[in-house]
Structure 1
Amino acid sequence: MTTAARTAPRLLARSAQAVIAVAAVADVFRTVALRDHYLHPTDASLNRSGFISMVFVYLMTLATVLFLVWLARSRRNAQELSPGAALPSPGWTVGAWFIPVVNLVAPRRLVLDIGRAGSASWEKRDTTLVNLWWAAWVAHALGLTAASMAAPGSLAFLVVTEALMIAAAVLVGLVIERVTAR
């Protein structure tokens, strides 16, 4: 039996994947513009970095909203498919992302629980995919924090953090694909 709830995540998943990819590319442009302004502070570089940063914030906000709506919908579908599965509450599925320190651990567990509940064929490679995505995402976030404190204009830090951002974006796209397919 196909319900509207079970078919809706496909379009939502594709939308989230697309916006996440565009936001990741915008982050690279933002980082280059910010570094340019850091090295050569002019009004033009300030305006350029400010504009690109604003576009990035809008894209990232949209990506976050789409991802969280997709995750909540996937949770509901997993609950339908496995009524006895131990799944987080709908509020916790979204809220855990916004609680400091908890958001470094809980969201990974939420995605794993939803994936496992939604499919009897959840495999070790699916768990590994989620773990790789989460490691890249957390390393990116911690790398940004370290770079801003230790070496704000460091090219090495910027290259590493942007590589982690791109890796996290690709991996979360694959995670969305796996969970949605199951």
Structure 2
Amino acid sequence: MTSAARTAPRFLARSAQALTAAAAVADVFRAVALRDHYLHPTDASLHRSGLISMAFAYLMTLATVLFLVWLARSRRNARELAPEAAVPSTGWMIGAWFIPVVNLFAPRRVVLDIGRAGSASWQKRETTLVNLWWAAWAAHALVALVAGRVAPGSMPCLVVTETLMLAAAVLAGLVIERVTALQGTAPGVQVSLRT
């Protein structure tokens, strides 16, 4: 029987993908509700935007936790599949997401290192996929920050910001899928729907 570290984490991958998609969709509704409240401030619009923002915060928190749990499992797989590879420590893998300025570039490198170490089949297209995901995510954060200060309530800014958020969510789902699939095809790794 394989150890948990030698099992491709399909269930975690699917859960992280589903919650990431749900959080991205909730973010669209949140942005629209906030814009509506900004343009037409009423108690009803404040209540509606508050509820949607709260739902988004819960979904995004759950998506983040599941993504990090999936990444930790993928890291363990990569470590076992390629003990000599440069795979980040668990502390750095998690901390890289939360340290200001470092979180602008380090998480991308963490995902690339785990992906490369966990599969001999890692190619340029996988690196490109990770780079596209990270570019969409970083662009979303930058545009949202600038738009919130320069043009709050602007429909063009809202469309660009939320398009980037949805693109980042789709690309994150593809990154999760690709890393999990490549690790699942590595010799000695079994695919489990339970982990």
Give the shorter-chain TM-score range.
over 0.9
**TM-score normalized with structure 1 length:** 0.98
Q: Does 1:165 align with 2:154?
A: no
SS in 1 for 2:97: helix
**C-alpha distance in 1 between matches for 2:2 and 2:181:** 14
State the distance in 2 between where 1:4 and 1:102 align.
31
Deviation at 1:8, TM superposition (A): 5.8
User: Which protein has greater RCO, CA pairs closer than 8 Å, 6+ apart?
Assistant: 2
SS state of the match for residue 97, structure 1? coil
CA distance in 2, matches of 1:7, 1:47: 45
Q: How many percent identity over aligned positions?
A: 80
What letter corresponds to residue 65 of structure 2 in structure 1? V
Is 1:100 equivalent to 2:100 in the alignment? yes
Q: Which residue of structure 2 lines up, in the alignment, with residue 13 of structure 1? A: 13
Which amino acid letter does the alignment assign opposite residue 149 of structure 2? Answer: M
Q: Is the 8 A contact 2:13 2:70 kept in 1?
A: yes
Where does 1:1-182 land on structure 2 (aligned, <5 Å)?
A: 2-7=2-7, 9-182=9-182
Listed as ranges, the gaps of 5+ residues in structure 2 are 183-195
Give SS of 2:9's match: helix
State the distance in 1 between where 2:59 and 2:17 align: 12
Paired letter, 2:114: I
1:86 counterpart SS class: coil
Contact 2:8 2:77 in 1 (8 A): no
- Give, as a single letter, the amino acid of the residue that structure 2 aligns with 1:47: H
Structure 1 residue runs of 5 or longer lacking an equivalent are: none
**What does the per-residue CA deviation read over 1:44-63, in whole Å, with 9 as the maximum and x for residues that have no partner?**
00000000000000000000
3-state secondary structure, aligned to 1:98: coil
Distance 2:91 2:79 in 1: 14
The superposition leaves residues 93-148 of structure 1 with CA deviations (integer Å, 9 ceiling, x where unpaired) of 11100000000000000000000000011010000000000000000001110011
Distance in 1, matches of 2:159 and 2:140, equals: 11
State the AA in 2 paired with 1:92: W
Q: Which has the higher helix share?
A: 1
How far residue 26 of structure 1 moved from its aligned partner, in angstroms, is: 0.5
CA distance in 2, matches of 1:121, 1:62: 30
Aligned-residue CA RMSD in angstroms? 0.9
1:35 corresponds to which letter in structure 2? R
| Shift in Å, 1:6 | 3.1
Q: Contact 2:104–2:138 (CA<8 Å) still a contact in 1?
A: yes
Q: What secondary structure does 1:2 align onto?
A: coil
Aligned-partner residue type, residue 10 of structure 1: R
